[in-house]
Amino acid sequence: MKDQQLSSARVDLDDSILTTDQAIPVEDTDNSLRAGARGPTLLADFHLREKITRFDHERIPERVVHARGSGAYGWFQPYESLRRYTTAHFLTDPARRTPVFVRFSTVQGSRGSADTVRDVRGFATKFYTDQGNFDLVGNNMPVFFIQDGIKFPDFVHALKPEPQHEMPQGASAHDTFWDFVSLQPETMHHVIWLMSDRALPRSYRAMQGFGVHTFRLVNEEGEGTFVKFHWTPAAGVQSLVWDEAQKIAGKDPDFNRRDLWESIAAGVFPEYELGMQLIPESDEFAFDFDLLDPTKIVPEELVPVTPVGRMVLDRNPDNFFAETEQVAFCVGNIVPGIDFSDDPLMQARLFSYLDTQLTRLGGPNFAQLPVNRPVAPVRNHQQDGFGQQQIPTTPANYHPNSLADGCPRLLGGGVGGAGRGWVPGPTAAFLHYPERVKGVAHRRRSETFADHYSQPTLFWNSMSGWEKEHIIAAYRFELGKVDSREIRDRAVGQLAHIDLDLASAVAAGIGVAAPEKVADNHGRSSPALSQSNGRLTGSTGIAGRKVAFLVADGVEAPSVTVLRDALQERGVVGEVLGPVGGTVQCSEGDQLPVTRALPTVGSVLYDGVVVAGGSPACVAALASDGYAVHFVAEAYKHAKPIAALGSGTELLLAASLPNPNTAPGALDGVVTHEQPGPPAAALVEAFVAALAAHRHFGRPLELVPA
C-alpha cells in the first residue's frame, strides 16, 4: 500500500534532467553557491556538499586521486624572519628547523600504476610546527584544470580510466578526458602544461612544486598579504622525454620512487628552496587576471619570487603503509599567521580533503596516527569514534565546565589591529582574518575569471624550440588516441584560440582540418616558465645522477676506474654493464666486477653513458652486441651525454652516430678521448659539464644510416 502511494505521488521528469540524490532538479552544476561573484562559497550549497561528498567516498581505501605516491621526512628552515608578513613561528625564527613529511604522487593512476606516465605530480608538505600542523598541498604545476571545486568530480571522472572497461590506466590519452577539456575552455592553461615536459619529471628531486592557490599571510598588526608558494629543487628542473618515459614504465615502473629512496639512502638528500610571491592587499585588482582564479599564474616579471627558506629530505620512512600510505593531508590544516582566500577551488578543497580522510582512514581519529600526529600538544573535547587511540581521563568532555577546572580552556590574547577587531598576536590562538563579506547568494562566476586563453598563449610563447616540438608531439599522441573525430576537431579548435601555428601543427598530425584563425597571439612571454631558463638548471651539480659504463672482455680497466672514481667524488652513481653478470676480463689481466648485465637494463634508466675502450676483441664484442648498439643509439636519440674512451668510439659508429672525428661540432654532449689509457682531466671536466646540462637537444637526433 505504501509503495502504491509513493508511486502515485511520483512526478515523472525527463530522463535527461540532472538531479540530486534526493531527485531535486539541478539548474547549475558548474558554479558553487557563493556570496557575490568573488565571495566565499556558502555551506548552504547542498548540491556542492552532496556532489563532493559522494565523490570523496568513491574509493575505499585507496585515494581517489594521488593514489600512487612516495614520501620522505626532512626539515625546513627559513633564511630570515618573515615577521613583517606573518606570525607563523616556522617562518619567523631563522634558527628553527621544522620537521616535515613530503609526499610526491601521480594523480590519475591507481597505486599499482607506473611512475613515469604523463600526469600532474602532487607535491604535498606537512610541516610539524609548534603551533600545529600546516599542510601545503600542491602540485608540480602552478595552475589547475578548473576554477570551481564543484567541477572536480566531473574533471576526475573524465580523467580516470573509462568506466566501461577501466582503461587506460595512469594516462589522459582517451576520449572522456579530451571530451571534457575540449568543452571546458578554463582547462586549456593546465592542459598545455600537461602536454609539456613538466608532466614527465626525471625525478622528484628535480621537480618544482607550487601551492597553486593564492593564500594570505597575516602579521601581528592584522595586516594581510596575498602569497603564492613555490618550491624550486636545488638539483634543477629536469624532465624525461616521452619515448623514454614510456620505456621506463616497462623497464622500471618504480623509477621515481626508487630514485627518491636510493638517493636518500646514499646521502644525496633532495633539497628545495621555498619561494614566495608576496602581493600587498592593495594590489589585489592590479592585474589583468583574478588572483582568486586557480587557472592563472602571477608572472614572475610582475611579482618576483622571493626566496624565504630551505627544505631538505634526509630520512626514508620505516614502513610504507604506516607512513606514506596513511599520511593525511588536509588543505584546511593551517596555523596562526596563514589563512585562506576566497578561491572557489580552494573553498571546496577545505571540505573535501577532511571528508575524504574519514572514509579512507576509517573515522575521525586519523590525526592520532604517528605520521599525522602534531608535535604540538593536542587537548580538546573530541572523544570516541573509530580508531580512538587515546584513553581520556577527564570527567568533563564539554565546554564550558567546572568539573575539570574549565580545562582545556580557550587561549586568550591577540592584539587589536586598526579597525580590524581581534587579530593574531605572536602567541595567540588562531583567528580567521576579518575579511568583510557581502553579496547576493547565487551560482555565478565572476567576470574576472572569463579569460581562458591569454595565459596558455603566454606559456606557449615562453617555450624554447625543443619544448614547443615536444608539446606538439604530446598533443598529437594524446589526441591520436581519441576515437571521436568530433572531439579531435573540438580540441584543435580550442588550440586555435591559443596559437594558430600550434593548432595547425597538431591538426596535421591527427588527421583533422587546420582551423581558421580566431585570435591573434598577444606576443607576451615569461622566461621563468621555460625549462631552458638558466635559473632552473640547479645549484648542486650532478650529485645523484646515474651513469652507465659499457664494457666487455679486454676492457682497459684504468679508463673505467679513473672516470668512475672522478664522477663518484661528485656524487654520481657509476654502474658497470657487461654482456653478462659477474666480471669481465681486463686487458691488464685482472677482473673488473660488473654491476648489472646489459640485457637486464636499458639506457632509459641512466642519465649518461660511457663506452670503455680496450683491445680489438673488446671493441668487436661491443659493436656486435645488439644491446650495446641500441643502448648507445637510444641514449643519443634521447639527447643524453655520451663519452667514448679510446677505441670505444667504434661503438658510436656501429650505432650510426655521426663520426665524432669528422663532425665534432654536430655532436653536442658527446665527449671522446682518442688515446688509450686513463682519460685526461679535460675529458673528465667536459663530461661533467655535459652531465650538468642534463640534455642536449641542439644535436641532430637523426642517426646516420649504417
Give yes or no: residues 53 and 78 share one domain: yes
> Containing domain of residue 638, as a range?
542-692
| Model pLDDT for residues 280-338, shown as the tens digit of each residue | 999 999 999 999 999 999 999 999 999 999 999 999 999 999 999 999 999 999 999 99
Distance CA 262, CA 282 (A): 47
Task: Report, as an integer, the average pLDDT of 220-234.
Answer: 96
Query: Omega before 374 cis (within 30°)?
Result: no
Best CA proximity match to 96, nearest among 83, 109, 85, 81 = 81
Averaged pLDDT score across all residues of the chain = 91
Tell me the three cell numbers of residue 519: 585570435
Best CA proximity match to 441, nearest among 27, 48, 33 = 33
Give yes or no: residues 528 and 547 share one domain: no
Give yes or no: residues 572 and 524 share one domain: no
Q: Residue 160 pLDDT more than 70?
A: yes
Helices vs. strands in the chain: H and E counts, helices first: 18, 22
Residue 272: strand, helix, or coil: strand
Secondary structure element (H or E) that encloses residue 307, with its range: strand 306-315
Give yes or no: residues 520 and 632 share one domain: no
- Asked if the structure places residue 198 within a domain, the reply is yes
pLDDT for res 387: 86
- Asked if the structure places residue 442 within a domain, the reply is no
Exposure class string for 584-620: b at 16+ Cβ within 10 A, else e: bbbbeeeebebeeebeebbbbbbbbbbbbbbbeebbb
User: In DSSP terms, which residues pair with 272 in a beta bridge?
Assistant: 233, 311
Give yes or no: residues 521 and 549 share one domain: no
pLDDT for res 703: 52
Read off the pLDDT band of 33 (50, 70, 90): very high
Q: Residue 21 pLDDT more than 50?
A: yes
Alpha-carbon distance values, 494 to 170, 187, 223, 430, 548 (Å): 24, 10, 42, 45, 44
Q: Where are the beta strands (DSSP E) in 353-479?
A: 415-417, 421-423, 441-442
| Model pLDDT for residues 55-83, shown as the tens digit of each residue | 887 765 889 999 999 999 999 999 999 99
Would you say 411 and 430 are in contact if contact means Cβ atoms under 8 Å apart?
no
- Which ranges in 463-594 belong to alpha helices (H)? 465-480, 485-496, 500-510, 557-568
Read off the pLDDT band of 240 (50, 70, 90): very high
Would you say 71 and 328 are in contact if contact means Cβ atoms under 8 Å apart?
no
Distance CA 87, CA 98 (A): 15
Q: Are strands 121-129 and 209-210 parallel, antiparallel or unpaired?
A: unpaired
- Asked if the structure places residue 405 within a domain, the reply is no
| Model pLDDT for residues 490-514, shown as the tens digit of each residue | 999 999 999 999 999 999 999 999 9
Q: CATH number for the domain including 290?
A: 2.40.180.10
Q: Residue 665 pLDDT more than 50?
A: no
Q: Residue 11 pLDDT more than 50?
A: yes
pLDDT for res 420: 45
pLDDT for res 394: 87
Q: Are strands 132-139 and 121-129 parallel, antiparallel or unpaired?
A: antiparallel
Q: Rg (Cα) of the chain, in Å, rounded?
A: 28
Residue type, 414: G
Q: For the chain, what percent of residues have pLDDT higher than 90? A: 74
Helix (H), strand (E), coil (C) string for 98-116: EEEEEEEEECCCCCCCCCC
- Asked if the structure places residue 477 within a domain, the reply is yes
* Per-residue DSSP letter, 410: P
Distance CA 114, CA 246 (A): 9
Give yes or no: residues 460 and 363 share one domain: no
Give yes or no: residues 520 and 547 share one domain: no
> Last residue of some domain: 491, 509, 534?
534
Tell me the three cell numbers of residue 356: 575524504
Task: Report, as an integer, the average pLDDT of 445-452.
Answer: 96
Q: Are strands 98-106 and 69-78 parallel, antiparallel or unpaired?
A: antiparallel
- Asked if the structure places residue 699 within a domain, the reply is no
Give yes or no: residues 582 and 483 share one domain: no
Cα first-last separation, the chain:
85
| Model pLDDT for residues 367-400, shown as the tens digit of each residue | 999 999 999 988 888 888 888 888 888 888 888 8
- Asked if the structure places residue 284 within a domain, the reply is yes
> Last residue of some domain: 349, 368, 387?
368
Would you say 172 and 190 are in contact if contact means Cβ atoms under 8 Å apart?
no
Q: Alpha carbon 533 to chain centroid distance?
A: 19
- Asked if the structure places residue 418 within a domain, the reply is no
Give yes or no: residues 492 and 526 share one domain: yes
Q: Are strands 546-550 and 573-578 parallel, antiparallel or unpaired?
A: parallel
Alpha-carbon distance values, 507 to 197, 241, 474, 493 (Å): 20, 22, 12, 9
Residue 407: strand, helix, or coil: coil
Q: Residue 13 pLDDT more than 70?
A: no
Q: Residue 104 pLDDT more than 80?
A: yes
- Asked if the structure places residue 9 within a domain, the reply is no
**Greatest CA separation found in the chain?**
98
Give yes or no: residues 556 and 503 share one domain: no
Q: Alpha carbon 255 to chain centroid distance?
A: 15
Q: Residue 235 pLDDT more than 50?
A: yes
Q: For the chain, what percent of residues have pLDDT higher than 70? A: 92
Read off the pLDDT band of 4 (50, 70, 90): low
Q: CATH number for the domain including 676?
A: 3.40.50.880
Phi, psi of 272 (to 5 degrees): -140, 145
| Model pLDDT for residues 168-201, shown as the tens digit of each residue | 999 999 999 999 999 999 999 999 999 999 999 9
> Last residue of some domain: 341, 368, 395?
368
pLDDT for res 451: 97
In order, the DSSP letters of 174-214 are: SHHHHHHHHH-GGGHHHHHHHTSGGGSBS-GGG--EE--S-
Distance CA 204, CA 270 (A): 8
Task: Report, as an integer, the average pLDDT of 527-544.
Answer: 83
| Model pLDDT for residues 388-445, shown as the tens digit of each residue | 888 888 888 888 889 888 888 877 644 444 344 444 555 578 888 888 888 899 999 9
Give yes or no: residues 94 and 239 share one domain: yes
Query: Omega before 270 cis (within 30°)?
Result: no
| Model pLDDT for residues 558-597, shown as the tens digit of each residue | 989 999 999 999 999 999 999 999 999 999 889 999 999 9
Distance CA 208, CA 274 (A): 10
Give yes or no: residues 63 and 176 share one domain: yes
Distance CA 567, CA 570 (A): 5
Q: CATH number for the domain including 473?
A: 1.20.1370.20
pLDDT for res 233: 96
Read off the pLDDT band of 702 (50, 70, 90): low
Alpha-carbon distance values, 88 to 81, 127, 449 (Å): 10, 11, 31
Tell me the three cell numbers of residue 59: 574509493
Number of domains making up the chain? 3
pLDDT for res 683: 87
pLDDT for res 640: 96
- Taking residue 210's Cβ as centre, other Cβ atoms within 10 Å add up to 21
Q: Residue 547 pLDDT more than 50?
A: yes
Positions marked catalytic: 66, 139
- Please list, in sequence order, all residues whose beta carbon lies within 8 angstroms of the beta carbon of residue 455, skipping any fewer than 6 positions away: 143, 189, 289, 295, 296, 297
Secondary structure element (H or E) that encloses residue 357, with its range: helix 344-360
Read off the pLDDT band of 664 (50, 70, 90): very low
